[in-house]
Structure 1
Amino acid sequence: MRRREFLAACFACTTWPPLSGNAQQREKATIGFLGFGALGDVRDGNNADAVRRGLAEIGYVEGRDYNVQYRAAEYQADALPGLAADLVNRKVDLIVTLASPALRAAHGATKAINIVFLTGFDPVANGFVESLNHPGANLTGVFILTGPLGPKRLELAREVTLTRSIGVLLSSTSFGFANVRDEFLTAGKSLGVDVVMQQADVPTEFEAAVDAVRRAGCGALVVGGDAVFTNNRNAIVELVTRYKIPAVYAEREYVKVGGLANYGPNFSEVYRLLGTYAGRVLKGEKPADLPIQQVSRVELLLNARTARDLNMSLPLPLLARADEVVE
């Protein structure tokens, strides 16, 4: 055999066969994460980590299968449309909105790029999709009906403290702020308690708002589920602890870091579910055909140590209903 023929035969024996089907290396996607809070939270916060876990369950690992363009409004709602438009101009493959205000901005920015969202407000009633079962558009996602949960937290605060004056901390940047505020006021009348509304739109306004609740003589505080609070939960709990106000929160993580009680969904699982939907869309499923997932399960967590620090006794029926009691 001549030398050229010999080398060709050796190459044929050592060359790997071509990859086929799903084994072929897919092109790396680009996802836009659009959030309302600070850049650090949008990029490195617990919610973003949960989205990544969901994506990984579907086979998408950041850096290997996709890259992310992070956009954060720093709690400035007016900045969201421009940030959404920037992601569209960069031709990302998918936009994941991490809060309700971001959904509105992304929806207004594109009808072509797919959007996977998390919202606490009815996406049908607010005109984003045709129906929960058949969104019929370029977007789908996860829906938590947060409106009824606020009054339930007010009721919980009343049960825990027996007070007749309760402070409520909300952000006016919240999607549907006026409706949420009115629901709290209506619930207060039904429960026979005075509701003292306080507003904080950025972290620098927290202390004045909590101090106003204390000066008003409120026996308890309900903290809204707005991103500005959940992204800065440690600061909120520290303030409330300093002022010795029993407080009810929207997420379990507050209780884990010293908050008294929470009533709401497990947001870590909710954002993980959001990530699985993002992965399914990247795999080729159409948002128009993916039913919106409605999360209805809520948890009640209590912190017994915090109750003792406040010289409180948690009612036995409440302890019996709790999903978890932190000692």
Structure 2
Amino acid sequence: MKKTKKILSLILAGAMMMSLTACGGKTEESKSSSTETTTAQATTEGAATTGEKTADGKQYKIGVLQLVQHTALDAANKGFIKALDDAGLNYVADQQNAAGDQSTCQTIASKLVNDGSDLILSIATPAAQAVAGTTTDIPVLVTAVTDPAASDLVASNDAPGGNVSGTSDLTPVKEQISLLKKILPDAKTVGILYASSESNSEIQAKMAREAIEAEGMTAVDYTVSSSNEIQTVVTSMVGKVDAIYAPTDNTIAAGMTTVAMVANENGLPTICGEEGMVKAGGLATYGIDYFELGYLTGQQAVKILKDGDDISKMPIEYLPADKCKLSVNEETAKALGIDVSNIK
């Protein structure tokens, strides 16, 4: 009888060990699936474990909400992380990507707040609005936002007055339209392509209309409500405009290969808001460096976390003019039969 009890005890102990092992495996899998959302995300998480210990030995928890994956926003994210690493900050970054969906932005924003983040980085206007609307206590830095004040994120760009500050990606729209006119001196009508759901783009579209009219051309708006409409809308521009201007719009940037495919096949040159869009098939731009923009935001994060700076008194910062650069897609120019040698 005692022998039987001993055997039963051994079997029970073994079953308990198997149960504990299985539970541990599920926890690790859940952690992995929640953090490795994108390729860029996996890269920044690796960097997040390399920070040196601060004087008090504290490890900061930083939440990152990126609206969608595309070249410019990825670069801003990497620049932010590089600034933290260069400052020797001890931190862990919870990287999250909303894949361009506003409701997902809200869900992730709530998660980052509930997780007790010490600071949250929001990349692009919809992501910033989601986070800013979820917390008034946690410091929130924004980047890749054209005008934080106009997007109701801060009281004013000079004096935010709350828990939100960051950097603006206000692009040199006037100079970009001048570039368009220089490359295409005979252009009469320019189609402005952007997503109607992005306040960031509405601001740039207004600036573009003014600049286009100042150059003696006519501006016509062409908007999409989602990426699914890009091909149809760009096709509708054929024969009606002489060129396309696409600002730093996240929906258009993420779908730039589709824009370029239709536009280039139909002889429509596209002047873009940033370099990544040019690499994806656009003709040219004169724009900011998003890695440098993210780096500038990361320096703000260090001032808040390490130096104790008051975010409410931290003005929105802008990249200096010398951080803007000319980018030309030579292959696109050749395909369109356009000579770009006079703009270099």
Q: Structure 1 length as normaliser, TM-score?
A: 0.76
In structure 1, list runs of 5 or more residues that go unmatched.
Answer: 1-21, 320-327
Query: Could you tell me how far apart the structure 2 residues matched to 1:23 and 1:99 are?
Result: 30
How far residue 132 of structure 1 moved from its aligned partner, in angstroms, is: 4.7
Q: Is the 8 A contact 1:77 1:173 kept in 2?
A: no
**267, 287, 312: which is aligned to 2:338?**
312
Provide the residue aligned with 1:255 in structure 2: 278
Which has the larger displacement, 132-141 or 84-93? 132-141
Q: Is the 8 A contact 2:288 2:325 kept in 1?
A: yes
Query: Could you tell me how far apart the structure 1 residues matched to 2:292 and 2:257 are?
Result: 20
Query: Could you tell me how far apart the structure 1 residues matched to 2:305 and 2:160 are?
Result: 17
- What is the one-letter code of the residue matched to 2:340? L
Q: How does 1:208-247 map to 2 (within 5 A)?
A: 208-216=232-240, 218-247=241-270
Give aligned-pair identity as a percent: 23
Q: How does 1:39-188 map to 2 (within 5 A)?
A: 45-60=74-89, 65-124=90-149, 127-130=152-155, 132=157, 134-146=159-171, 149-161=172-184, 162-188=186-212
Query: Could you tell me how far apart the structure 1 residues matched to 2:265 and 2:57 are?
Result: 53
How far residue 34 of structure 1 moved from its aligned partner, in angstroms, is: 1.6
- What is the one-letter code of the residue matched to 2:66? G
**309, 319, 328: which is aligned to 1:295?**
319
SS of match in other structure, 2:267: coil
How far residue 220 of structure 1 moved from its aligned partner, in angstroms, is: 1.3
Q: Deviations over 1:122-178 (max 9, x none)?
A: 3345554455555443222112334xx334433322321221122221011212544
Query: Could you tell me how far apart the structure 1 residues matched to 2:255 and 2:58 are?
Result: 37
Query: Could you tell me how far apart the structure 2 residues matched to 1:279 and 1:238 are?
Result: 42
How far residue 201 of structure 1 moved from its aligned partner, in angstroms, is: 3.7
- Taking a change above 3 Å as real, the CA distance of residues 313 and 211 of structure 1, as seen in their structure-2 partners, is same
- What is the one-letter code of the residue matched to 1:139? V
Q: Structure 2 length as normaliser, TM-score?
A: 0.72
Counting matched residue pairs gives 288
Query: Could you tell me how far apart the structure 2 residues matched to 1:224 and 1:113 are?
Result: 31
Provide the residue aligned with 2:64 in structure 1: 33
In structure 2, list runs of 5 or more residues that go unmatched.
Answer: 1-52
Q: Is the 8 A contact 1:100 1:119 kept in 2?
A: yes
Provide the residue aligned with 2:43 in structure 1: none
Computed over aligned residues only, the root mean square deviation of the Cα atoms, in angstroms, reads 3.0
Q: Is the 8 A contact 1:53 1:275 kept in 2?
A: yes
SS of match in other structure, 1:109: coil
